């Protein structure tokens, strides 16, 4: 299969290249970058030196649409909704890693991204790209909206408990700590080493774009779900720890909760459920497509339940999940190309 990556010089683009370079049977037909056009991919991604001997090209979409069978858009928001028509009309399947097609209601997009949605009809066809919840619809989709890094942890960490009815839907707190690669490769004051190191900084404490994404999905499980979401950046390159604080509606033990999660995710190739009382650490999934859910801490006296979710924000939180979606869309083995083991320590 011939794959194209639009926007390949950023971190998620680099991860797509890393994964696909080690995926037999997939050819990287084109990778674009305005900034790096004409340069070797190793100019942006030095890990690919000597491994992937191709060059970035200009994003000439219709030409690329003719050459490729499948396309990933790893571009800033606003791009994919303009480009998707070209690819879909040419018969390609597509995974978009931006926020363009993640919302059922384009109005939500417009509110949180601040620009009009220019492809509402495609938005209707797009499928929310979370395999653990939407595998069957992803299988039939031509356009999949790869979901955000924070939402992957929050949604997978909350749905089983919410569905089981054991937690108060109206008092859910999601406190996420993200590696700084989540902010992208562009140098800004926020990601300056001297600002990001020796720090743990909350940002957009009431208004992050991933909040409505989380809420959209949880409200489908329980319409009364109300999320208090605060993202943080911590001095970590890649990795995410999401601490989920909930209040219990019934008397359960950590073991009970763990059993609920194990049942829910039985057979999932990338979800690992940790023992009650065991807390996953970032390095268990670093560089891999695993997502680890653990903690299951119950404090009966205070009627509270805590879950901890970890993943690599660039893999299961972005490019790994995108390839997982591709595998499902194309009928390939779901974990093909994604068997790399986490790098610990």
The full length of the chain comes to: 345
The answer to whether the CB of 142 falls within 8 A of the CB of 91 is no
Q: Is 181 in the site for its own copies (CB under 8 A)?
A: yes
Q: Which is nearer to its own copies, 92 or 178 (CB)?
A: 178
CB of 56 to its own copies, least distance (A): 16
Site for its own copies in 26-65 (CB under 8 A): 45-51
> Where does 29-103 have alpha helices with state H?
41-44, 61-67, 80-89
Q: Can the peptide bond before residue 345 be classed as cis, meaning omega within 30 degrees of 0?
A: yes
3-state secondary structure at position 309? strand
137-176 residues near its own copies, rule: CB under 8 A: 171, 173, 175
In the block, tokens 């986490």 appear at: 342
Phi/psi for 210 (5° steps) reads -85, -15
CB of 305 to its own copies, least distance (A): 9
Single residue of 53, 89, 110, 197 touching its own copies by CB under 8 A: 197
Of 29, 74, 54, 64, the C-alpha closest to 321 is 74
Interacting residue with its own copies among 177, 209, 258, 316 (CB under 8 A): 177
Closest contact distance (angstroms) between CB of 189 and its own copies is 5
At closest approach, how far in Å is the CB of 284 from its own copies?
4
Q: Is 149 a known active-site residue? A: yes
Tell me the C-alpha to C-alpha distance, in Å, between residue 14 and each of 20, 56, 134, 144, 204.
10, 12, 26, 20, 26
Buried/exposed code over 135-158 (b: 16+ C-beta within 10 A; e: otherwise): eeebeebbbbbbbbbbbbbbbbbb
Distance separating alpha carbons of residues 255 and 296, to the nearest angstrom: 8
264-303: contacts with its own copies (CB under 8 A): 272, 274, 279-288, 290, 292, 295, 297-299, 302-303
- Residue 142 DSSP label: S
Beta carbon nearer to its own copies, 107 or 341: 341
Shortest distance, CB of residue 19 to its own copies, whole angstroms? 9
- Tell me how crowded residue 183 is: count the other CB atoms within 10 A of its CB: 16
Binding test (CB under 8 A) with its own copies, winner from 25, 194, 266, 267: 194
77 versus 177: smaller Cβ distance to its own copies: 177
Which residue from 21, 54, 259, 336 is in contact with its own copies, where contact means CB under 8 A? 21
CB nearer its own copies, residue 183 or residue 259: 183
Choose, by CB under 8 A, the member of 116, 163, 235, 263 that binds its own copies.
235
Catalytic pick among 149, 194, 310, 330:
149
| CB of 87 or CB of 150, closer to its own copies | 150
* Residue 109, token pair as written in the block: 């997009």
- Token representation of residue 214: 């989380």
Nearer to its own copies, 75 or 246 (CB): 246
**Active site members:** 149
């Amino acid at each position: 299969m011939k794959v194209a990556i639009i926007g390949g010089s950023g971190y998620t683009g680099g991860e797509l290249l890393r994964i696909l370079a080690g995926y037999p049977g997939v050819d990287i037909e084109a990778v674009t970058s305005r900034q790096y056009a004409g340069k070797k991919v190793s100019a942006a991604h030095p890990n690919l030196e000597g491994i992937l001997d191709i060059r970035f090209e200009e994003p000439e979409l219709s030409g690329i649409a003719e050459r490729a069978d499948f396309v990933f858009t790893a571009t800033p928001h606003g791009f994919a909704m303009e480009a998707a028509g070209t690819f879909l009309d040419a018969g390609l399947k597509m995974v978009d890693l931006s926020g363009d097609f993640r919302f059922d209601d384009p109005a939500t997009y417009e509110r949180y991204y601040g620009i009009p949605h220019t492809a509402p009809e495609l938005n209707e066809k797009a499928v929310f790209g979370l395999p653990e919840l939407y595998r069957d619809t992803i299988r039939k989709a031509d356009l999949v909206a790869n979901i955000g890094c924070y939402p992957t942890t929050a949604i997978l960490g909350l749905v089983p408990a919410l569905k089981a009815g054991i937690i108060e839907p109206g008092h859910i707190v999601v406190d996420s700590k993200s590696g700084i690669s989540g902010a992208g490769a562009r140098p800004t004051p926020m990601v300056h080493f001297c600002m990001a190191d020796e720090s743990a900084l909350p940002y957009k404490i009431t208004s992050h774009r991933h909040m409505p994404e989380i809420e959209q999905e949880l409200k489908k499980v329980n319409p009364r779900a109300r999320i208090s979401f605060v993202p943080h950046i911590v001095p970590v390159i890649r990795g995410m720890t999401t601490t989920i604080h909930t209040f219990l509606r019934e008397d359960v033990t950590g073991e009970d909760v763990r059993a609920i999660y194990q049942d829910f995710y039985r057979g999932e190739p990338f979800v690992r459920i940790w023992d009650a009382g065991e807390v996953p650490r970032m390095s268990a999934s670093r560089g891999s497509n695993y997502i680890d859910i653990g903690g299951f801490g119950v404090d009966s006296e205070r009627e509270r339940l805590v879950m901890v979710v970890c993943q690599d924000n660039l893999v299961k939180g972005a490019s790994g999940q995108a390839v997982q979606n591709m595998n499902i869309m194309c009928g390939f083995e779901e974990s093909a190309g994604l068997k790399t083991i986490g790098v610990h320590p």
